[in-house]
Structure 1
Amino acid sequence: MAHVVTCFVRERGEVLLTRRSDAVGTYRGRWAGVSGYVEGDPDDAEADARRELREETGLTDDRIDLVRAGEPLAVDDEAGSFTVHPFLFESDTREVTPNEELAAVEWTDPTAIRDRETVPRLWETWRRVGPTVDDVESDRTHGSAWISARALEALRDAAAEADADDWDAVAATARDLRTARPGMAAIANRIDRVVADAIRASDGAAPDPDAVVDRAIDALGAALAADEEAAATAVRRLRDADATAIATLSRSGTVREAIDRLGPARLLVAESRPEREGVDVAERAVDATDAAVTLTTEAALPTALDRYDVDAALVGADSVFPDGGVVNKTGTRVLALAARSLGAPVYVVASRDKVRPSGAEVSDREAPDERSPADLVYDGDRDVSVHAPTFEVTPGELIDGIATEAGLLSGADVRAVAEEHAENAGWT
């Protein structure tokens, strides 16, 4: 049985589909991912996946990041017997250079696979690497903007597979997604908007799952645009304030976008102990900007802000409370307090979908009970307990502004957004 790779490349929620040319030996004219034979050890098929991407599309390792290798699946038909090794890569570009094996290429939503003549079991191959509820629940690497986009994709794919009269299955997936990460408001808000809009369009009856597919696709595009516009708002505010030395922490895609656009002269990054996501932020800033980048610890932030004459602090948010308080990675409060003591403003960059719905109980105004692995803090053999919460609440009085796609929000603006989200959440 031959081993082959099938690579899906995703950029801004769409994947690269290719139509096989007459130069290939099998499945001519059919749509596929980027595919090819495994020439080495099937257990190291990633090397073959990257080679095929270079040869067929010109996408090199510096433009793509591996998201997932899926479980192989067997394909048997008249063309032969194959073990397919699925891969999903994230790309920072849509510029590809097809070789002679590809008759056409197209960036499109993955659900388009279901309506095309494809190589065998291509949709199932996608589903082995596409986002799931479990991915949303377990991702401890990315920020909430990224994870909420994956939640929309998971809802889209579940709805695409549902029968026309199987609304209950779609609703169950939506409920699982909206509660998968209670501390990340954007996930529930974006799922709620998709489902509530579909229900409203069906006059309160159970919607057709296809309506959820369409709205999830639209919501994904809107979410990506909102995060970019929120970053643009933050950049405008920082430029108006003549801020050229910026401090941040943790790993927020929206903050990274703002930093790339701003191009500060200096960037101070707290490493975000104990998992040290800030290291990646610092390295990416070196590659993407001309800033002088300094990495520090949260404990050293007060002296570092003073030493490097930081003009402003910019952080992301997993949630924004109706009263303006912010849930973000632990260390945010230290940064905000240190900046406040030096007279440097603190800005949060977050889309409006990160505002929690109004009406939350007092107990909900706390950080989610998520913790970093204890052995990253202490791996000895003594009876030592570890306190390593992943998130914390920074009070609204320490925040100077929340930069969103709708501009810099005031307290009244935040409360109005919270009420809008509460109305959408009523579908449950």
Structure 2
Amino acid sequence: MSVPRGRGYRAVLEEMISDRVHGASWYFLRLAELLEAGVNEQIPIETMISDIRSIRPGMAPLENVAELLTQVKPLDLSRAIRVYWGRAEEGIRANSRLFMNRVKSMVTISYSSNARLFAEAVGARVVALESNPGGEGRMWGGHGGLVVPDLTMPYFIANSDAVVMGGDGLYEGFIVNKVGSLPLALTSRHLGKPVIVVLESFKARRSRPSQVYRVNVGGIEVPLFDEIPLSLVDVLITDIGVFTRVDVAYIEGKFKETILKYASTTQ
């Protein structure tokens, strides 16, 4: 069985650890490259599991893949991740089209590839908050979005059809996303606008994240993520369906069932 040759294991791992811009979807796909490099360099599975969990402790896709490594060979799992990634994107795009003509303008936070897929699928105009600290929302400027200061969110929400955001993790009772997402959802609820979250099923995990990743801003440690209660989410769009009532165990189970099937057929 041939093993793809690319960057070294340590180079991929360090890139994932040091990254400050990308979300959980990016990390999930990068894991395929990390596993391939690990096989090339004969890194013990126990070491790969430990390294994956140390990248962003508690991040759902990382924890899910670390857990799956106890059941699946690394190279089979790497190939299954790539297959799942492509099909998840197709599912997100198809399910987003259900909102065509219902969401013509949207406010979003950070830069989510899933929020972008939604906007493209329905043809919505995008207003993106700058999303400080980090300023990832500015990336929307290169994709036709209007980038505005974070504190202007009430004005732009009031003049939009919905708030649409991605999510870095779906847990029992809440969604984790970039800091600022909770006030965005609360403001949307206050103004009577729906909150739509778009994420892949590989981000679903019932167990709570062990810790919240923090960054240093002006000498002050601040959390990089908010917990948004599911009670503030009106619609959850995933690759496996659209939900107004969220069963995290079901979504997590479907992901694991499907990726194990992909792993068994990539050999």
Q: TM-score range by the shorter chain?
A: 0.7 to 0.9
Distance in 1, Cα, partners of 2:29 & 2:232:
29
Deviations 1:349-401 (A, max 9, x none): 1111111234x4xxx48x61312x423xxxxxxxxx63643111111111112
Q: Write the mapping of 1:28-427 to structure 2, written as runs, cut at 5 A.
A: 111-113=3-5, 126-128=6-8, 132-162=12-42, 169-193=44-68, 195-198=69-72, 211-233=73-95, 235-239=96-100, 242-264=102-124, 266-281=125-140, 283-286=141-144, 293-306=145-158, 309-323=159-173, 325-358=174-207, 360=208, 364=209, 368-371=212-215, 373-375=216-218, 386=220, 388-411=222-245, 413-418=247-252
Name whichever structure is richer in helix by fraction: 2
Change (3 A) 1:402 1:370: same
Residue identity opposite 1:330 in structure 2 = V
Residue identity opposite 2:12 in structure 1 = T
Taking structure 2 as the reference length, what is the TM-score of the superposition? Answer: 0.84
Q: Which of the two has higher C-alpha Rg? A: 1
Distance in 1, Cα, partners of 2:63 & 2:246:
22
Query: Which protein, 1 or 2, shows the higher relative CO under an 8 Å CA cutoff with sep ≥ 6?
Result: 2
- 3-state DSSP of counterpart to 2:227: strand
Distance in 1, Cα, partners of 2:61 & 2:138:
25
Structure 2, unmatched stretches of 5+, are: 260-267
Contact 1:151 1:191 survives alignment (8 Å): no
Distance in 2, Cα, partners of 1:231 & 1:139:
26
Taking structure 1 as the reference length, what is the TM-score of the superposition? Answer: 0.55
Contact 1:190 1:219 survives alignment (8 Å): no
Deviations 1:298-344 (A, max 9, x none): 211012222xx210111111111122x11100111121112112221
Distance in 2, Cα, partners of 1:140 & 1:215:
26
Residue identity opposite 1:342 in structure 2 = L
Structure 1, unmatched stretches of 5+, are: 1-109, 114-125, 199-210, 287-292, 376-384
Calculate the aligned-residue CA RMSD, in Å. 2.8
Contact 1:322 1:414 survives alignment (8 Å): yes
Residue identity opposite 2:160 in structure 1 = V
Contact 1:131 1:153 survives alignment (8 Å): no
Deviation (angstroms), 1:111:
3.0
Distance in 2, Cα, partners of 1:184 & 1:356:
9
Change (3 A) 1:422 1:182: farther
